Each structure stands twice: as C-alpha cells, then as structure tokens.
Structure 1
Amino acid sequence: MKPLVVIGFLGSTLDGSKFGPSRWNKWRPSVGITMQEDLRVDRFVLLHGTPHGRLAEYVAEDIASVSPETTIDLRRMDFKNPWDFEEVYGKLLDFARAEPFDPEVEDYLIHITTGTHVAQICLFLLTEAHYLPGRLLQTQPSRGTVSPVGEWNTIDLDLSRYDSIATRFAVASAESQSFLKSGIETRNAGFNGIIDEIEHVALRSKAPVLLMGPTGAGKSQLARRIYELKRLKHQVGGAFVEVNCATLRGDSAMSALFGHRKGAFTGAAADRPGLLRSADKGMLFLDEIGELGLDEQAMILRAIEDKRFLPVGADKESAADFQLIAGTNRDLGEAVASGIFREDLYARLNLWTFTLPGLAERREDIEPNLDYELDRFAEREGQRVSFNKEARQRYLAFAISSDARWTGNFRDLAASVTRMATLSPRGRIDVDCVDSEVARLRKLWLHANAVDDGLASLLSDEALAALDPFDRVQLAETVRICRASRSLSEAGRSLFAASRARRTSANDADRLRKYLTRFGLDWSAVAKN
C-alpha cells in the first residue's frame, strides 16, 4: 500500500479542548482521524493560522501519542479575512501548486470537516479541479456513544459514475433550453446552438446581452424568456421593463429613460422615475437600441457601468442596478463607422452578441412553430382550431418552399395562423382556407418587396407574382427605356445598341415588340403610362 497523506485545517473550535484526561472523552476531528483502526495515516499536513499555533502543537502532541507512525507536518497559513473567498482560494491554490504531490507514490485525503465554510468550499473546488490530487475526507462524531474516535468516509467526485446525477443534470439543462424556446421543439441546429449558449450565459453572467436579427425574428420574446428563466432561478427580483427605442424621440427620450423632476420642462407636472429606475433589481430590454440618439447612448453607457444616471432637471443622481438586454436589426458595427452609434457603448454591448436567424433561414422550424401558434390562438380566444390533413400538408409545402418570403418572419407566421383560425368557425382549417391564405401572403410580400419599377400599373398582381426576379429587373429596365423614347424603333435602338453593331441588318422594333408580347404587353400600353 502507498503511504497515506491527510491534508486539512486545524479546527480552532472542534479540535480545541481543556488540557487533562477529560479531553479524551471529546471527539476532536483531527485527532480522531489518526485513531481509526481501518485508516493508517502516514503523514498529516495540518494547516493553521498564527493565533492558533499553540493549539496546533497541542493537537500534534496528542496525534503523536495515539499514532506514533504518523508524521505531523504543521503548516502556517494566515488570512487577513478568512471569509474572503478570493483570498482563501488564492492562498490554497498557491499551496497546491507549490506542494510536491506525487499520486504515483502517495495517496491523499483532503479533510473538509474543519476550517471555515469558505475554506471547506475552496478545498472542495481545488480537489474537484485536481489541483489537490486526492479524495475528500469527511468525519463526524459516533452516533449514540461518546467516543474520541468518531466516524469517517470519503466522497467520490467522479460524477460520471453517477448515472442518476448525470441524467438529472441533463434533464434540468434541457428544461432551461426548452423554456427559452417557449417549449417549441425547434429543429434548426444553428438556432438550437445559439439558445444553448444563451442559456449558459443567462445563468452565469450579469453582463449586457446583445440580440441581433431582423424584425420579427423573436428578439423581444427571447428577452422576456431570459428574464423569466433568471427569475425562476432567483437571480432577479425586479421587473422586466421593455422599451422600443424607435418610439423615443427628442426631449421625451431622456425623460422616458432616465426620468425627470417636477418642473424640469413645460408639462413636467410631477416627478417621473423613468424606465431605468423601474428596472432596478430586474431587467431592462432596449429594443432597436440603434435608434437611440448619441446623448442617450452616453447616459445608457454610464448607467450600465456605474449603475447611476442623472434624471432630467435633477441636481442629484439616481441609482438603478439592472441587467441590460439590447436588441437591434441594424449592423451596429456599420453604425459606429457612420458615426451614429457610440463605439464605447458598442464595445460594452458586444461581450455577448447573438444573431437570431429569420424564419426563412429556419424553414425546418415552421412546422413546430405552426403548432405553437395554434396553441396560442386557443389560449387567447378560448377555441381550439386545427388543420385537416390535406390542408396542413398544402400549407407546410408552401411555407417551407422558396416561394414563401417570410419578410416579417414569425410575425407573418403568427398573423397567418390567426387569420386561418379566425376564418374557420367550425374549428377545422380546410384546403380552401389555406389556398386563400397563400394567395394573401403572396400579395402581401409582393407589395412589401415591391419597388416603384413601373410594372404595377402594367401587370396584374398574379402576373407580377409569377415573374422571376431576373425577368422583373430586365422587364422594368425595358419599360423605362420605352417610356423615355419617342417610338418603338427608337426604344429598340437604345435597348439593342451593342448587339446591332455586330449585325449587318437588324429590326430592333420587331425584336422589342416580340419581347413585350412575352409578358402580354404592347408598345402603346407601355408608352402611355
């Protein structure tokens, strides 16, 4: 057997006793370790502070008397504040690094029964991290009898051997991630990876979080779920305060964010605490933070860093301790380069940045979100609506196809489901309802994405929807040239100038006429618009 080394703190209270025979009727942890019949201690490293030097020598003498084979190694370790976690951990880490441990030659037990709670925690952490290469040793007095020996057992830190613990941890982790996704079984690997990272950051950091992504990608809902998760874990006690910075303009922005004092400006009839003050001990979500003015940005930066800000018209600062989540659909890096966003604020926000993909980038998540939106409708309206099989298949086929633009992202999907559910009074969405909704979405996206290219006055909505983007750009330029020309021939010469120079003869007017005919147009219809 390899020699056994025990490392532990002297218990200034538990190891203390009056000198005399009566001390052997008391359980003293450090002495009791060396009195165990089934535990041979070859060396005992006993850590103690200078004020307890005499007690350490006293305990060492008693150990020598009951276990002559044990070498006592008294080590002095003083702390300015034994309850300062950083100081205690640092000095124990220095001790661990300096100690010539050799697990091939010796076995080690780390005694965590004695010492302050901070010292015990630090010993646990250093052992778990293998800075102290041993097992944890715990002792206690014998039950039902008075004995100086007591009882001992070791704690195995190899958690991989405990399937039930590992399973419970995995379940708890999965529940947190599912919570952030509102229970939606999302399938997109990239999005799930983002949520996994956000869950880790949310529960381990109070630093600002920046959520980027297009409008309707779910930034606001995710921010609220982060808050609710932290509240469940008792990490926040205040309110969730949300503000869309795009709605804040001029002098009212300062007042809304930082509050004002009565009489600070015309109309300030009473004190106003402001949104930052309302978020004290809670969470502040500044959506579209890129729309804030530079002055407001400067004050937000100070509020994040110093937890202090100056209300409008006040001569005394206010304080608020909140966690900030910021949302934006802007590229803040470009905004900094353009001079409309402060570089120092961007640097402060950019510690934890997560970019949420739009719905068109997560088409495999449309089906589970479809069910989620039906559940939301049922909760909101008190009526359960579902698809029939063929209607569901037809809607999903369109929704995941490239024809579905989803320019409004999840807002478009939520509105689409609400329309279909509302227009299905019998509780079943059928194929006709789906066809009508698909046509409505096509028209919605057509108008949303349309530019004034002159085609809307020439072609029907159905004809425009049937155009490939390539053909639309080409046709729009053709129409522009036609309207700037006095005749069909002049327009043809302008449009085909390069190609006609390479031919001996050309009828540009006829060529242009045939091109327009492909789209059901003629020169007179185009030229008069």
Structure 2
Amino acid sequence: MAKNTVIGFLGSTLDASKRDSSRWQKWRPTIGLCMQQDLRVDRLILLHGEKHESLARFITQDIASVSPETSVEPHRINFDDAWDFEEVYTELLDFAQGFPFDPEHEDYLVHITTGTHVAQICLFLLTEARFIPGKLLQTQPRRGQPDPSGSWNAIDLDLSRYDSIAQRFAASSRESTSFLKGGIETRNAAFNTIIDEIEQVATRSSAPLLLMGPTGAGKSLLARRIYELKAEKHQLSGPFVEVNCATLKGDNAMSALFGHRKGAFTGAVADRAGLLRSADGGMLFLDEIGELGLDEQAMILRAIEEKRFLPMGSDKEASSKFQLIAGTNLNLIDAVASGAFRDDLFARLNLWTFHLPGLADRKEDIEPNIDYELERYAAAEDTRVTFNKEARERYLAFATGPNAIWSGNFRDLSASITRMATLSPDGRIDRKTVDMEVARLQRLWTSDRGDDDDTQLSAILGAERLTRIDPFDRAQLSEVVKVCRHSASLSAAGRDLFAVSRQSRSSTNDADRLRKYLMKFGLSFDEVRAR
C-alpha cells in the first residue's frame, strides 16, 4: 500500500495554543489532520519559518502523542514578506522542484488550510500545474461541538474525474465550436477538425492567427466570431476592428493603419488615431494582408511584437495592445519567395495558420448552409421562404454536382438563395425559379473564368442544358465545335477530327461518325455552324 505524505505549512496562529491541557479542547489544523480515523498520515512535511522553530517542535511532539506512526519532517522556508506573491511562489517552486517525489510509492496531499492566503494560493497553483503531484487537502473544525480533530476532505484537480464538471466542460466546448460555425451543423470532417482546433487556440492563446483560403470562404465571419467568443469569456475588452488591406495604398495605408498628425501630408487637416490604436484591448482583423506594402508590413511586425508604432508625422510613439487575425487568399509562401511579403512577418504570423476550404471542397455542407441562408433571409426580410420538394432536390443536385464550381464560395451561395427567395413572393421556391437561378450561376461562373469554350457551348446548347454535361465531355465537345465552325462541310470536319484514327481503317465514314457524336448532345452540324 502506498504511503500517505502530507505537505503543509505550520499554522502560526491556528496551530498555536496555550501549552497546557486546555489545548486538547481546541481544533488545531495540523494536529487535527493526524487525528482522523479515516486518514492515515505516514509522513508530514511541515513547512515553517525560522522564527517558528519552537512552535514546530511543540507541534511535532503533540503529533507524536496522537499519531506515533506519523513521521514529521520539519522543512524551513523563510520569506522576507509572506504576502509577496512573487517571493512566495518562487520559494515554493524551488521547494517543489527540489523535492524527491516518488508517486509510485507515495500518495501526496497538499494541506491548504494553514499558511497565509498567498501561500495557500501558491500551493494550489503548484499542485494544479503538477509541480506537486498530489491532491489538495482541506481541514475544518466541526461546528457546534468541541472536537480537536475536526473534519477533512481531499480535492482532486483532475476535472475529468468529476462527471458533472466534465459534462459542463464538454457542453461548453460544443457550444463554443457551434458558435464559431454560426450554429450551422457542418458535416465536412476536415472543416470541423479545423474549427475544433481554432476554438482551442482562440481561447488559450493571444498569439496572431492566420486564416488562409479563397475569397468568400468565410474568413471575415470566422474572425468576428472568434472575437465574440473571446469577448464573451472576458479575454478581450476592446472593439473588433476590420480592414481590407487591398483598399489601402500609399499614404492612405500608413494613415489608416497607424494614424497621423495634422499636417503630416497634403490633406491631413486633423489628427487621426488610426486602426491599430482603435483596436487597443480588442482584436484587429487585417483581411488580405498579402496586399500590404513592404513598409506597412515592417511597421505591422513591430506593432505585433512591441505593441508600439509611430504615427505619420509624429515624433512620439503610440501604443496599442491588440490580438491580430490576418486573412489572405494568396499563397504567402510564394509571396515570400518572390519578395512581395516579408519573411519575418510571415514567420510571426505562421504560428497558427488555418486553411479554410472553399465551398466546392465542402459539398456536404451546402445543404445545411442553404437552410442557414433561408433563416437569415427570413430574419432580414421578415418573410419565411422554403423550397418545394422538387425544386429543393433539383437545386441540391446542381449545387453538389460537378458543374457547380462556386467560384465565389459562400458569397455565391448566399446571393443565390437571396435571389430565389426574393423571386418567390408566395413563399415557395419552385422548379422554374431554380432552373432560372442555375442558368444565372452558370453564366456568372463562365464570365468569371473568361472561359471562351463554355461561352461557345452555352450559346449553342443554352446554359441549362450545359449544366447536364460532364466537364470531361465539355472539353471534347468544345474542340469538336471549334473544328465544325471552321470547316466547310460535315465531311471536312470529320476528316480533321479523325485524321489519325482514320489511317488505321480500310474504309471510313468520318461524316457519319461525327454526325452520331453530335447527336449525343442533340446537335447537328448545320445547327453548330448557324449558331
């Protein structure tokens, strides 16, 4: 059986008493813990100062009389000021680090009833941090009856051992993660893993965070929710300040970020605090940080590291303590390699980097986000709109299919749902509305990509028919259409398209072969030429 070793301070007031028989009518914490029927104290490490040597010897003698099996080991620790937290913690840390703990053969209890409040706090912190590998021990007198032994209870700081506390922590963690996701029940495993990690980092660290991902992936919304989560936990007291760095150029960038003094440049007619100072005590979100100039990057780096910066036109530094979240859709590693982004700033930002996937890589999350956007529309317009069954199935099939590229990510989805809801005054999105929206999205994405091939096919087939053709077939059909448009006849186009394979056949009918290919898509040679 492992031995029980108790570590605790001698109580210079609570353990002291008249040195006659009346002392046995008084509760004395250090004596009382050795008098418990259900607590065996094999070893007592009695911490005390030099001026309490006499009391320590007296208490040791009394313990011997009530618990002869207890070995008392006085240990002298002197404090110049027993209420100085830094001094007390440092001395006790030195004690803990030098003590020969043997957890395999001894169980340790840390008695926190005696000693100054500062000493009790320090013992708690050292035990909670596992510098002392034990449980806390609390003793108290029994109320209403003269009992020198009092009572005791142990406190295990391993919170996982307490079911109700563990459940509360788990529920709190789930709520925090759900909060970061906007309450959306996302299904993409990779994204959920990222959010879980961000939640842990955000609540435990004030270091900068770097959110990377395509435009519209939700970086701005996530940054604001991280701020709200930290503010709710009282980790931030200042505001959330957001700036799109792509809009900052030249003097305007320096002035907007770091502020300026009146007359610093033409047009500076008054002092300006700047965004960094406005974010003091709160959070600064620099979206598209890769667009900042090198000079601004250097000043941002100093502001992160030293919390100080120099406003334009000022000879006096300003200070601001803020947490930074940076966002970018650029590959900053490539930007560093090309000299467009400072390597020292990237190194500072790269401690916590999270890559947010685009909507096309999170097809499982499209359906819950559709419901979220409908709820958001209802709240904004005070009008509830839903899909009918056929329309919902059609839209989901398109949205999660290979032809939906979602180049604008969640912005595209949000705009799409808003358009369909607005065009459904009776509160029901029908199949016709969905077909119109699908065609609109196809045109939008074709225009965004500058894709001449898809533009050609869309003109011939129509945007709605184009959505039903696989990207593989589109590439082949685009080449066929190009050749047909530049050929005088069906036979001439066939000869060009099958120039290689026709060499291996004894007889050929290239025109028939091409005609049958076009028929797969409901097209004829004349139709392709005409359109």
Q: TM-score range by the shorter chain?
A: 0.7 to 0.9
Classify 1:83/1:362 alpha carbon distance in 2 versus 1 (closer, same or farther; 3 Å). Answer: same
Report if aligned partners of 1:513, 1:523 keep a CA contact under 8 Å in 2. no
Deviation for aligned residue 1:108: 3.7
Higher deviation after alignment, 364-373 or 395-404: 395-404
Higher deviation after alignment, 422-431 or 122-131: 122-131
- Within 5 A, what are the aligned runs for 1:407-422? 407-422=407-422
Deviation for aligned residue 1:289: 0.6
Classify 1:279/1:482 alpha carbon distance in 2 versus 1 (closer, same or farther; 3 Å). Answer: same
1:91 and 2:109 correspond: no
1:379 and 2:379 correspond: yes
Classify 1:303/1:495 alpha carbon distance in 2 versus 1 (closer, same or farther; 3 Å). Answer: farther
Task: Give CA-to-partner distance per residue, 1:314-372, whole Å, 9 cap, x none.
Answer: 10110000000111111111110111001011111111111111111111111111111
Classify 1:503/1:403 alpha carbon distance in 2 versus 1 (closer, same or farther; 3 Å). Answer: closer
Deviation for aligned residue 1:93: 3.7
What residue identity is the alignment partner of 2:420? M
Partner of 1:397: 397
Task: Give CA-to-partner distance per residue, 1:76-101, whole Å, 9 cap, x none.
Answer: 345688513863563254144x2345
What residue identity is the alignment partner of 1:83? F
SS at match of 2:225: helix
Partner of 1:205: 205
| Structure 1 unaligned regions, length at least 5 | none
- 2: CA distance between counterparts of 1:454 and 1:387? 29
- 1: CA distance between counterparts of 2:317 and 2:260? 11
Report if aligned partners of 2:457, 2:478 keep a CA contact under 8 Å in 1. no
Partner of 2:325: 325
- 2: CA distance between counterparts of 1:134 and 1:284? 42
Partner of 2:310: 310
What residue identity is the alignment partner of 1:406? W
SS at match of 2:85: coil
- Within 5 A, what are the aligned runs for 1:245-324? 245-324=245-324
Deviation for aligned residue 1:2: 6.1
What residue identity is the alignment partner of 1:76? R
- 2: CA distance between counterparts of 1:516 and 1:42? 92
Deviation for aligned residue 1:392: 1.9
What residue identity is the alignment partner of 1:111? H
Report if aligned partners of 2:374, 2:386 keep a CA contact under 8 Å in 1. yes
1:44 and 2:44 correspond: yes
What residue identity is the alignment partner of 1:91? D
- 2: CA distance between counterparts of 1:510 and 1:406? 38
- Within 5 A, what are the aligned runs for 1:452-463? 452=452, 456=456, 459-460=459-460, 461-462=462-463
- 2: CA distance between counterparts of 1:166 and 1:187? 25
Task: Give CA-to-partner distance per residue, 1:277-303, whole Å, 9 cap, x none.
Answer: 010000000111111111111111000
What residue identity is the alignment partner of 1:396? L
Partner of 1:362: 362
Task: Give CA-to-partner distance per residue, 1:231-275, whole Å, 9 cap, x none.
Answer: 110110000000111111111000000001111111111111000
Classify 1:4/1:459 alpha carbon distance in 2 versus 1 (closer, same or farther; 3 Å). Answer: closer
Partner of 1:5: 5
Task: Give CA-to-partner distance per residue, 1:10-51, whole Å, 9 cap, x none.
Answer: 334444557677765654322322244554433211123445
Partner of 1:164: 164
Report if aligned partners of 1:88, 1:118 keep a CA contact under 8 Å in 2. no
Report if aligned partners of 2:89, 2:122 keep a CA contact under 8 Å in 1. no
Classify 1:468/1:80 alpha carbon distance in 2 versus 1 (closer, same or farther; 3 Å). Answer: farther
Report if aligned partners of 1:25, 1:147 keep a CA contact under 8 Å in 2. yes
What residue identity is the alignment partner of 1:222? L
Partner of 1:109: 109
TM-score by length of 2: 0.85
- 1: CA distance between counterparts of 2:36 and 2:528? 109
- 1: CA distance between counterparts of 2:107 and 2:474? 79
- 1: CA distance between counterparts of 2:326 and 2:471? 35
Number of positions where the alignment pairs a residue of Structure 1 with one of Structure 2: 522
- 2: CA distance between counterparts of 1:101 and 1:504? 86
- Give the aligned CA root-mean-square deviation in angstroms: 3.7
Higher deviation after alignment, 139-148 or 500-509: 500-509
What residue identity is the alignment partner of 1:252? N
What residue identity is the alignment partner of 2:85? W
Deviation for aligned residue 1:468: 5.0
- 2: CA distance between counterparts of 1:99 and 1:164? 31
Higher deviation after alignment, 339-348 or 384-393: 384-393
- 2: CA distance between counterparts of 1:367 and 1:509? 46
- Within 5 A, what are the aligned runs for 1:148-227? 148-157=148-157, 159-227=159-227
- 1: CA distance between counterparts of 2:2 and 2:96? 25
Report if aligned partners of 1:43, 1:71 keep a CA contact under 8 Å in 2. yes
- 2: CA distance between counterparts of 1:488 and 1:78? 105
Deviation for aligned residue 1:449: 2.0
Report if aligned partners of 1:478, 1:495 keep a CA contact under 8 Å in 2. no
| Structure 2 unaligned regions, length at least 5 | none
Classify 1:33/1:372 alpha carbon distance in 2 versus 1 (closer, same or farther; 3 Å). Answer: same
Partner of 2:143: 143
TM-score by length of 1: 0.86
Deviation for aligned residue 1:162: 3.2
Task: Give CA-to-partner distance per residue, 1:199-258, whole Å, 9 cap, x none.
Answer: 110110000011111111111101000000011101100000001111111110000000
Deviation for aligned residue 1:60: 3.0
1:442 and 2:416 correspond: no
- Within 5 A, what are the aligned runs for 1:333-352? 333-352=333-352
Identity rate, percent = 63
Higher deviation after alignment, 56-65 or 461-470: 461-470
What residue identity is the alignment partner of 1:6? V
Deviation for aligned residue 1:488: 8.8
Report if aligned partners of 2:518, 2:525 keep a CA contact under 8 Å in 1. yes
Higher deviation after alignment, 30-39 or 410-419: 30-39
